[in-house]
Structure 1
Amino acid sequence: MYDITMRNRVLVMLDQGLTLSEVSRRTGVSRYAIREWRLRVEQGRDLYVGGPRDCPRCAELPRPPDPPGAYSHLLGLYLGDGCISPVGDPAKSVWALRVICANAWPGLMQECADSIRAVRPENKIRFIPREGCTEVNSHSKHWTCLFPQHGPGMKHTRKIELAGWQQEIVDEFSEEFVRGLLHSDGWRGTNRVRRKLKDGDHWYEYPRYNFTNVSSDIQRLFTDALDRLGIPWTQMNRKNISIAKRDAVARLDEFVGPKH
């Protein structure tokens, strides 16, 4: 967890006119954490809250998880490549949040860990090697409270919908939600198209984003967020959604960009 000195340093750099991406590159702090710290200051909340925290959903007066931007990002990662499973003695009701990240993208693993740490700062985070990938793993009694989408079977075999408090977070922090989904089940690449013309074949190249998920419910959550952000999309087939218009790709590049 970043201390107050680092947080203040980041805010000074933002005040000097540096962009989120520039500050992230210079400090190694994720864009999500930087955005959250800036939002805390703008909203008059404490910049740093240390020590253990109770589960906000189990409180006498349930409240949304804090910080909401990090939660929205983590929700996207969970819906894409995450799962929740019991750990050890069932009587202890301990759950493991597992997010699978390809080894080719170490930056994605770190951003996932940053969001977990922001939402549950008292939780230990483990990086467990798997074949061709790494499992970012964290144990808590409260993951099922924070992600009520948990249930038996794979996500595409059951109904996936957001609770009211989750929808409010995703509505406000749609960029973070889309980033989490795309960095788990999406990619940014170059599409090549061949056109047959009189003088021979011509190849055209253009960048695009593609999101792949078998669950129609998760697809809808993704496209609803794109609609809120004013980003046009196309349903390519039953499980693939494409964002290929130049302005739309440029808009996603502002807060998503290629995996790293």
Structure 2
Amino acid sequence: MYDISMRKRALALVSQGRSLNSVSKETGISRAAIRSWQDRLEPLPRMTPPAPEPPADEIAYAYLLGLYLGDGCISAHPRSTGYYLRIACADAWPGLLQECREAIQKVVPGIGVYTLQRQGCAAVTSYSRQWPHLFPQHGPGKKHERAISLVPWQREIVNTHPWEFIRGLIHSDGCRITNWTTRLVAGTRKRYEYPRYFFTNVSGDIRQLYTDTLDKLGVQWTYCTRNGDPFNISVARKASVALMDAHVGPKY
């Protein structure tokens, strides 16, 4: 019913990480037919991975690195030598989701980016053989269960664009909130509000990357221990909050 060229085109789209449903809609070929071709497909010879390439846009990469360390993961495609990068973005902040998409496309120009909707969040997803080279922190298991450190070329990018790295970390695992307390003023107790930034991550290594970068930027911070766990890092000093507001700001 379908000629060889149609079969090759459909299978090529699937190999790029596209879903059967999207390929079926684009080509007009039924999902059952595409699935049957996959089942009969001979195993592909393993191709030599391409040589590592630097990120095309270092500013976008510094931001994307922060997002990846907070809410990102990389997984291998079961039928090819490529990998999926997935960044989880909450539905409450559509601007963050759009920035994530744009950062991916700037880091690897021409790459496809699509969104998988989940309950309360969306996974911004992209397929490339370059992801393990661009994020060498990738590995088996959860990030907080393995050592996380930057390789020299990543450190150079973060040192050059530290605020973009901080923005990525805050946009993934941080927030800007308004705290309040009360004070006696001329015998009257009045409510006093002040802004504060929080960053929360279970990985001690990732928290260290965050605080080391804050130190270089002159931002004062403190640990905010809860239930004995030092997972929360607070920035509350007025001058430091002003710096964070100028370069990071609240999620949107």
For the aligned pair, the TM-score class normalised by the smaller chain equals 0.7 to 0.9
Question: Of residues 243, 247, 250 in structure 1, which corresponds to 2:239?
Answer: 247
Aligned partner of 2:108 in structure 1 is 120
Letter in 1 for 2:217: L
1: CA distance, partners of 2:216 / 2:110:
33
Letter in 2 for 1:67: D
TM-score by length of 1: 0.73
Aligned partner of 1:162 in structure 2 is 150
Aligned partner of 1:9 in structure 2 is none
SS in 2 for 1:129: strand
How far off is 1:87 after superposition? 2.0
- Does residue 205 of the first structure (1) align with residue 197 of the second (2)? no
2: CA distance, partners of 1:198 / 1:258:
34
Length, aligned pairs only? 200
| Residues 55 and 108, structure 2, Cα contact 8 Å, conserved in 1 | no
2: CA distance, partners of 1:224 / 1:178:
11
Report Cα offsets for 1:139-197 as digits up to 9, x if no partner: 11110011000011111111000001100110111000000000000000101224589
| Residues 94 and 140, structure 1, Cα contact 8 Å, conserved in 2 | yes
Q: CA RMSD in A?
A: 1.9
**How does 1:73-92 map onto structure 2 within 5 Å?**
73-89=63-79, 92=80
- Does residue 131 of the first structure (1) align with residue 119 of the second (2)? yes
Letter in 1 for 2:61: Y
Structure 1 pair 121/203, CA: closer, same or farther in 2 (3 Å)? same
Letter in 2 for 1:85: S
Report Cα offsets for 1:70-106 as digits up to 9, x if no partner: 11100000001111111231xx221110000010100
Aligned partner of 1:67 in structure 2 is 57
| Residues 53 and 130, structure 2, Cα contact 8 Å, conserved in 1 | no
Aligned partner of 2:91 in structure 1 is 103
Percent identity, please.
Answer: 52
Which sections of structure 2, spanning at least 5 residues, go unmatched? 1-48
**How does 1:217-228 map onto structure 2 within 5 Å?**
217-228=205-216
TM-score by length of 2: 0.75
Aligned partner of 1:29 in structure 2 is none
| Residues 156 and 216, structure 1, Cα contact 8 Å, conserved in 2 | yes
2: CA distance, partners of 1:200 / 1:207:
23
Letter in 1 for 2:74: I
| Residues 85 and 131, structure 2, Cα contact 8 Å, conserved in 1 | yes
Which sections of structure 1, spanning at least 5 residues, go unmatched? 1-56
